[in-house]
Structure 1
Amino acid sequence: MSTDPKPIPKSARFVLGGAAGITATFICHPIDVVKNRMQMSAIGQRKKEFKSSFHAVRGIVGNEGLAALYYGVSAGVFRQATYSTTRLGVYQFLVESFQNADGTISFPLRTFCGMTAGIAGAFVGTPADVVLIRMTSDGRLPPEKRRNYRNVVDALVRISKEEGFLALWTGVVPTIGRAMVVNATLLATYSEFKSKLLETKLVNDNIFCHLWASLGAGFIACITSLPVDIAKTRIQNMRVIDGKPEYKNMVDAMMQTVKKEGFFALWKGFTPYFAKAAHSILMLIFMEQFTKAYRRYWLRDTSGKGSGF
């Protein structure tokens, strides 16, 4: 039987990407809850509501029960079904389209592919992102101010009815901005790290290689994207007071954060945010493993080749 790698259909790329993102979400959703609560804590104040990630977990579980760590998981799954399906599928489609005859592609071009995939994924996934932010942050509000969405479908319907259909794309600009930064660093850097590791001949294209490449890419993506993520989170969770929104745009949200809470508030919640990189790490690992399984059991491809990132 030939060991030459067989091409994967473009449609399968999207399905595999979505499946990888959803699987990682079930494992990492509690981290997302903690991150969002810490980013929304004590807005406008220098005194933090939570001293650390562990303090946040203890407070959430103590006040709302263990199940609160999985509140909004339906929105998390829906987000991955839209956002990750689109970004991973588009990224691999573009990489395959631009790569040279020998399968190589330059890092700047990979970065462009990552940014483009981020834009597409962010636009498609913003409604789910709005719901996810609101559902995971709801428990910190006084009972009379909570939105109390039952699930992602209820949230989508209520937001459309109560605030207008376009409200589902609240914060789409900062969401796209964050996605461009994240995917330009995460996907392109992962591909580059993986390529360099394989060139050393010290590791094979296996889970060990994928783990180290995703760890490095995840750390860089966190440093560069957290300030944008802070602004995005606050814009999507803001309320309109006397007909005036709390923030004008992403830059205004960042400037108000620095003015009221200090410069390093732009990296508030870094620990859970970096821990949330576990989602990206697992997503990339699952993507590799799912792709290998697809090649082996569906395409009968014995080459052992992974995602092709």
Structure 2
Amino acid sequence: MYKGLSAGIVRQIFYATSRLGIFEVLRDYLAKYRRIDIWSRIGLGLIAGGCSAVISCPAEVAMVRMSNDNSLPLQQRRNYKSLANAAYRIATEEGVLTFWRGCSPFVQRVMLVGVCQVATYDQFTVSYRSLGVPDGLSNNFCSAMSSGLIFSLVTMPFETTKNRMAFQKSNQGTLQYTSTIGTIRHIATNEGVLALWKGFTPYYARCGGHTVIMFIAVEQLRKLYLSYFKK
């Protein structure tokens, strides 16, 4: 059940820290020359998301291979012993560039996350502050829940599409869903557009909860760091 956990943890460390860190560094640098508005944040979110995807892609490849290894026939299993073993064997047996083979979908998804989650959170903190919500847990919570809502609304059609494509059964060797756009079109035409958001409440509870925990943890760790190292 936990096979590939070490790779997943390393992937999350590189993915989350680089996504948030690159965004804030670029935002603070740009703020020296111009006012940061929503469009600036969207652009920075795209850049930060793309960079973090490229950085974390090797760990993503190792995680996917390790977690899915048992689903392969015995003769095709790679039997990686650890994350280090997986990384070494991929690099030596298949070449270093294998870590980034087929990374485009992952990069595109993370760029979307960079906009819908990181950029919107940053914008909401400013918006709530202007409405009288002071900086602190209340502002962080409201901003994170709002960001999680935007993230859920934008990404759920893709989540629905992914699930339909992953769990479909072939009919005499043919598949009903073969592409993301085709699946979205089929669902919207035959079941209605709102079917793309069927089951939204539990999805938002998951994404919103994750977003709240992530950003509140980041803000509290930032305060702790500043209290000790920026006196």
Work out whether 1:214 is the aligned partner of 2:144: yes
Structure 2 residue matching 1:284: 3-state secondary structure? helix
For residues 139-158 of structure 1, what are the structure 2 equivalents within 5 Å?
Answer: 141=71, 144=74, 146-158=77-89
Contact 2:148 2:204 in 1 (8 A): no
- 1:81-129 Cα distance to aligned partner (Å, 9 max, x none): 322222212111111112268x952110011111111111111111111
The superposition leaves residues 125-146 of structure 1 with CA deviations (integer Å, 9 ceiling, x where unpaired) of: 111112223334445x256255
Higher RCO by CA contacts (8 Å cutoff, separation 6 or greater): 1
Change (3 A) 1:229 1:129: farther
2:230 match: secondary structure: coil
CA RMSD of aligned residues (A): 3.6
Q: How many equivalent residue pairs? A: 213
Q: Which residue of 2 aligns with 1:73?
A: 5
Q: Quick one: which of 107, 120, 135 aligns to 1:205?
A: 135
Structure 1 position 199, deviation (Å): 1.7
1:189 to 90, 114, 120: 120
Report the CA distance between 1:289 and its aligned residue: 0.6
Distance 1:227 1:170 in 2: 25
Which residue of structure 2 lines up, in the alignment, with residue 124 of structure 1?
55
TM-aligned CA deviation for residue 165 of structure 1: 2.3
Residues 1-309 of structure 1 correspond to what in structure 2 (within 5 A)?
68=1, 70-99=2-31, 105-138=36-69, 141=71, 144=74, 146-201=77-132, 203-226=133-156, 253-255=179-181, 271=202, 275-276=206-207, 278-300=209-231
Deviates more, 1:211-220 or 1:285-294: 211-220
Query: TM-score scaled by structure 2?
Result: 0.74
- What is the one-letter code of the residue matched to 2:10? F
What is the Cα deviation at residue 204 of structure 1?
2.4
C-alpha displacement of 1:267: 7.3
Partner in structure 2 of residue 249 of structure 1: none
- Over 3 Å counting, the alpha-carbon distance change for 1:121 and 1:229 in structure 2 is farther
Work out the CA distance in 2 between the residues paired with 1:75 and 1:268: 32
The one-letter amino acid of 1:119's match is G
- For residues 203 and 43 of structure 2, the distance between their equivalents in structure 1, rounded to whole angstroms, comes to 28
Gaps of 5+ in 1: 1-67, 238-251, 301-309
5+ residue gaps in structure 2? 167-177
Distance 1:253 1:273 in 2: 25
Q: Which amino acid aligns with 1:175?
A: F
- Identity, in percent, stands at 33
**Which has more helix, going by share of residues?**
2
- The alignment's TM-score, normalised by the length of structure 1, stands at 0.57
